[in-house]
Structure 1
Amino acid sequence: MARVRYGARTGAEAAAARAAHSRLPAVWSTGVTALWESDPDAVAAVLPPPLEPTGRPLVRVNISKVDLPGYPLGAGSFAVAAAHDGVEGWYPLVMPMTHERALTGGREVFGEPKKLGEVTVEREGLTVRAALARHGIAFVEVRGAVSGPLPLPEPARRTDFYFKFLPAVDGSGADGSGFDAGPVLVHCVRDERVRGLERITGDVVLRESVYDPVADLPVRELVGITLGERTTDQKGTVVARVDPGELLPYAHQRYDDPHQLLDGPPEGSA
């Protein structure tokens, strides 16, 4: 019988796949990073317990093109500053990716809030434009011009916080928690190296989207925009079990939920 590729892999094949994964070369990306101070109450409102705000209500967006061999990828992240158990880091609210393959590893393994979307990074001369779009709406756009080189930073380590969970098959779960199993908090530690960095003079535009409501985290004070070439590796660790009742009100952050249309408008809207 011919090989049935959906059949079980042999032990040797599984071992070969693991070995190939461990030998992956450094993958470099070119991307725009924007950092700003937002409304402290809005930042605190998006953090599920046990995450807490830091001393500064920062928001960070990264929009990149990743140089995967034969498989170019657009990748984005919109995150707010957060802290857990004495560790400060970032809590991503949405991570648009241009390919399904990029979603599965991060979402199913680490609990990353990845969704299919459009990612744009363009440079023409000194002019730079980067955007994240879904459902036909560029809900984040960074625009500007290169205003000069920046010194290369030393290799750095940062922590991202993710919640790993699965919604219950019947909507409520055996224990009524809404999840099929107890959710966990993941610390994902990334080591980053930079080989090129330039300053961008420009601005950040946040557009209204019912599915990606990042406009609720306005730019109060722009800290800076850069264009850089980076490579990172990462290691995730489950650090805590999470109270399902405290996490459930935030689970809609992960998915495109049609019931979001029933959510009230932002305060102050007409």
Structure 2
Amino acid sequence: MARVRYGARTEAELAAARAANGRLPEIWSTGVVALWESDPDAVAAVLPPPLKPTARPLVRVNISKVELPGYPLGAGSVAVAAEHGAVAGWYPLVMPMTHERALIGGREVFGEPKKLGEVTVERDGLVVRAALARHGIAFVEVRGGVSGPLPLPEPARRTDFYFKFLPAVDGSGFDAEPVLVHCVRNEKVRKLERITGDVVLRESMYDPVADLPVRRLVEITLGEKTSDQRGTVVERVSAEALLPYAHQRYDDARQVLDGPPEGTA
């Protein structure tokens, strides 16, 4: 009988897959990063416990083109500064990706709030435009011009906080106790430029980042970087405390409203 491809894989095949995952090459991305101070009450309101706000109510948007061989990827993130005990990091609210392949590992393994979307990074001479869009709405747009090179930073470590959970089969709560994940990334930068410009936040019922207004723009940069990542479950969290924030992961809990609004198709 010919091999049935949905059948069980052999132990050798599973071992080969694990080994291949451990030998990922350096993957470089070109992206725009904008950082601003927002309303401290708004930043605190989006943080599920046990995360706490930091002294500065910072919001960070990253909009990148990732150089995956033969499979270029658009990737974005809108995150707020947060702390978990003595660890400072970032809590992403939404992470638009242009391919389902990028969603699977991030959401199922790490608990990242990834959603399919449109990611734009354009440069024409000194003019730069980057945007994140879903359901026909460019809910974040960064515009500006390159105003000069910046010194390359030393390799740095960054921590992102994710909540990994599965909605319950019967629609009430979670199927298992949710966990808090620390995802640690070691980043290297090979090119960095300063952008003089602005950040535009547009109203979207699906991605309401406009609730985190730009009170003071800190910086905008355009850079080329690479990073690795390693996730660790650091603690189990209260399902009751996390449940009011679970809507951050989905456009609608019933998935009824996942299509584009009428008239935008």
TM bracket, shorter-chain basis? over 0.9
5+ residue gaps, structure 1:
173-177, 262-270
- SS of the counterpart of 1:5? coil
Percent identity of paired positions between Structure 1 and Structure 2: 86
TM-superposed deviation, 1:3: 2.2
The answer to whether 1:213 aligns with 2:211 is no
Partner of 1:175: none
Cα distance in 2 for partners of 1:258, 1:235 equals 29
The answer to whether 1:24 aligns with 2:19 is no
Cα distance in 1 for partners of 2:2, 2:118 equals 39
TM-superposed deviation, 1:258: 6.5
| Residue identity matched to 1:252 | H
5+ residue gaps, structure 2:
257-265
1:68-115 C-alpha deviation (Å, 9 max, x unpaired)? 011100000000000001111000000000000000101000000000
Cα distance in 2 for partners of 1:35, 1:12 equals 46
Runs of 4+ residues deviating >4 angstroms: 258-261
Partner of 1:204: 199
CA pair 130-2 structure 1, distance change in 2 beyond 3 A: same
CA pair 260-116 structure 1, distance change in 2 beyond 3 A: closer
Partner of 1:68: 68
Q: Are the equivalent residues in 2 in contact too, given 1:185–1:238 (CA < 8 A)?
A: yes
Cα distance in 1 for partners of 2:254, 2:230 equals 34
The answer to whether 1:158 aligns with 2:137 is no
For 1:49-64, list aligned pairs within 5 A: 49-64=49-64
Cα distance in 2 for partners of 1:22, 1:46 equals 34
Partner of 1:266: none
Partner of 2:247: 252
The answer to whether 1:41 aligns with 2:36 is no
Root-mean-square deviation (CA, aligned residues, Å) is 1.3
Q: Are the equivalent residues in 1 in contact too, given 2:247–2:253 (CA < 8 A)?
A: no
| Residue identity matched to 2:113 | P
Cα distance in 2 for partners of 1:3, 1:121 equals 44
Cα distance in 1 for partners of 2:218, 2:245 equals 28
TM-superposed deviation, 1:2: 1.9
TM-superposed deviation, 1:256: 1.1
CA pair 38-260 structure 1, distance change in 2 beyond 3 A: farther
For 1:67-106, list aligned pairs within 5 A: 67-106=67-106
Cα distance in 2 for partners of 1:258, 1:103 equals 18
TM-superposed deviation, 1:259: 7.7
Partner of 1:195: 190
Q: Are the equivalent residues in 2 in contact too, given 1:63–1:131 (CA < 8 A)?
A: yes
| Residue identity matched to 1:141 | E
Cα distance in 2 for partners of 1:2, 1:126 equals 57
Q: Are the equivalent residues in 2 in contact too, given 1:47–1:53 (CA < 8 A)?
A: yes
Cα distance in 2 for partners of 1:11, 1:259 equals 38
Cα distance in 1 for partners of 2:16, 2:31 equals 32
Cα distance in 1 for partners of 2:51, 2:255 equals 23
